[in-house]
Structures are given as structure tokens and as C-alpha cells.
């Protein structure tokens, strides 16, 4: 089983939900959070794992995806014991190390950044005209017990037109040289300058 790193493409996942005229029936106690979605050897999404390592078997498995991989997504689901019904899921970029390829990042709007389990999650608001932008992370330097990492965002000549919502996650285990308990300083270049968020590797 391997992670499917969504560096270039954002995969949008939509579950098949029952028809209903009652909104309370359609969205009963929906939980929305980042999660990993696992596919089996037939390419069907069968399992959802949250960042705090709750594992649910999907009541409504989703066919038509790559075989035996993990997808990162913001999921809306209804848990029921050890199973869950997936109502909707929006693909998220699972950032990979682009240190050797990364030049100076392009500026971006940041909505929020937070840590959840072994992931640093981001809700970003890039300006776009529908072109392809690129995402990754760059390891800059280590100072004492703090590793400085920069979000690598490349505008790729996509005009700065309208705002789009983008979700991205950095799996802290991708920072293989960072010992458990050490700090991670995440730098993001915004239109107002460099911003930094501090986390620890659990």
C-alpha cells in the first residue's frame, strides 16, 4: 500500500448518497475533517482513517480509483461504530519533498494552518484563472532542534484572477531527518510577507 501524492492534480471525490427531500435526512450528524481514504486491489475506496487514527469501513464503498493507494481528502461522513457513510470528499494535496526542484516560492493567501495528528494541514486561497499550479515543500535549514520548511508554491504563469480554495497536508513523517519531539517551522510566502507556524513532530 502506498500514498498517492497529489502534487499536481486535485482529485474530487463524490459519494453516492440516497435521494431525500429532507435536509436532516441527507446530512444526519455529518462530521467534516481531513482523512485518508484507502482503496483495495480493485480500486474501490473501502476505508477511511482520521488524523487521530480512527478507522472506519465505508458503508458505501466508492469504485473507480487507483488500486491499493491512499488518497488525502477533506471528508464529510457519518460515523456509526466502526463503519461510516461517506457523504462528500474534496481532494487535498499531500505534499512531497521538492527541495531539489524548488526555487523561490510564489506568494499565496493563507486561510488557516494547523496540526492534526501526524499531519500539518492547510487551507489556502490561491489566485487563479484556471491554470495548473504546483505544490510541494522545501527543507531549508536546521537550527538547533528546529527544522525550517517552506511551502513550495509555483504560480506557473497562471494569472492572478479569482480566489480558489485549496487544501494541502504535510505528513510530518516525510521529514525523515527530524527526530520525534523536535520543532518544525513552516514558512509560507504570502502577499504580506513571510509567515511562520511552529509545530512539533509527534
Q: Report the pLDDT value the prediction gives residue 11, as an integer from 0 to 100.
A: 40
CATH fold label, 2-93: OB fold (Dihydrolipoamide Acetyltransferase, E2P) (2.40.50)
- Dump strand ranges (E) for the chain: 2-3, 12-13, 31-39, 45-50, 55-62, 69-80, 83-91, 93-94, 109-116, 119-125, 127-128, 134-143, 146-154, 162-163, 166-171, 183-190, 193-200
Q: Do domains 2-93 and 96-200 have the same CATH topology?
A: no
Rounded CA separation 79/57 (Å): 9
Residue 18 pLDDT greater than 70, yes or no: no
Quick one: which of 167, 193, 89, 102 has its CA closest to 139? 102
The answer to whether residues 73 and 107 touch, using CB atoms and an 8 Å cutoff, is: no
Digit-coded pLDDT (tens) for 113-139:
999 999 999 999 999 999 999 999 999
Rounded CA separation 37/89 (Å): 10
Q: Report the pLDDT value the prediction gives residue 34, as an integer from 0 to 100.
A: 97
Domain ranges of the chain: 2-93, 96-200
Cα–Cα separations (whole angstroms), residue 159 to 50, 108, 155, 189, 196: 35, 13, 8, 18, 26
Sign for the CA dihedral angle at 163, 166, 172, 178 comes to: negative
Share of the chain above pLDDT 90, in %: 82
Q: What is the CATH number of domain 96-200?
A: 2.60.40.2370
Cα–Cα separations (whole angstroms), residue 178 to 168, 171, 175, 195: 20, 12, 6, 21
CA 142 centroid distance within chain: 25
pTM of the model: 0.86
The answer to whether residues 92 and 73 touch, using CB atoms and an 8 Å cutoff, is: yes
Digit-coded pLDDT (tens) for 44-89:
999 999 999 999 999 999 999 999 999 999 999 999 999 999 999 9
46: Cβ contacts below 8 Å, ≥ 6 apart: 38, 39, 40, 57, 58, 61
Q: Report the pLDDT value the prediction gives residue 75, as an integer from 0 to 100.
A: 95
Amino acid at each position: 500500500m502506498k500514498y498517492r501524492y497529489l502534487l499536481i492534480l486535485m482529485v474530487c471525490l463524490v459519494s453516492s448518497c440516497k435521494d431525500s427531500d429532507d435536509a436532516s435526512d441527507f446530512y444526519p450528524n455529518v462530521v467534516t475533517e481531513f482523512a485518508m481514504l484507502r482503496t483495495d486491489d480493485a480500486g474501490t475506496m473501502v476505508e477511511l482513517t482520521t488524523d487521530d487514527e480512527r478507522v472506519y469501513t465505508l458503508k458505501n464503498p466508492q469504485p473507480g480509483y487507483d488500486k491499493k493507494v491512499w488518497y488525502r481528502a477533506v471528508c464529510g461522513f457519518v460515523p456509526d461504530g466502526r463503519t461510516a457513510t461517506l457523504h462528500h470528499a474534496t481532494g487535498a494535496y499531500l505534499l512531497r519533498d521538492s527541495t531539489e526542484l524548488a526555487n523561490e516560492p510564489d506568494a499565496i493567501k493563507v486561510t488557516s494552518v494547523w496540526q492534526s495528528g501526524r499531519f500539518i494541514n492547510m487551507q489556502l486561497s490561491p489566485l487563479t484563472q484556471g491554470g495548473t499550479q504546483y505544490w510541494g515543500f522545501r527543507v531549508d535549514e536546521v537550527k538547533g532542534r528546529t527544522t525550517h520548511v517552506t511551502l513550495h508554491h509555483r504560480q506557473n504563469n497562471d494569472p492572478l484572477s479569482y480566489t480558489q480554495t485549496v487544501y494541502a497536508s504535510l505528513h510530518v513523517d516525510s521529514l525523515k531527518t527530524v527526530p520525534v519531539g523536535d520543532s518544525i517551522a513552516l514558512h509560507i510566502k504570502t502577499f504580506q510577507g513571510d509567515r511562520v507556524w511552529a509545530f512539533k513532530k509527534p
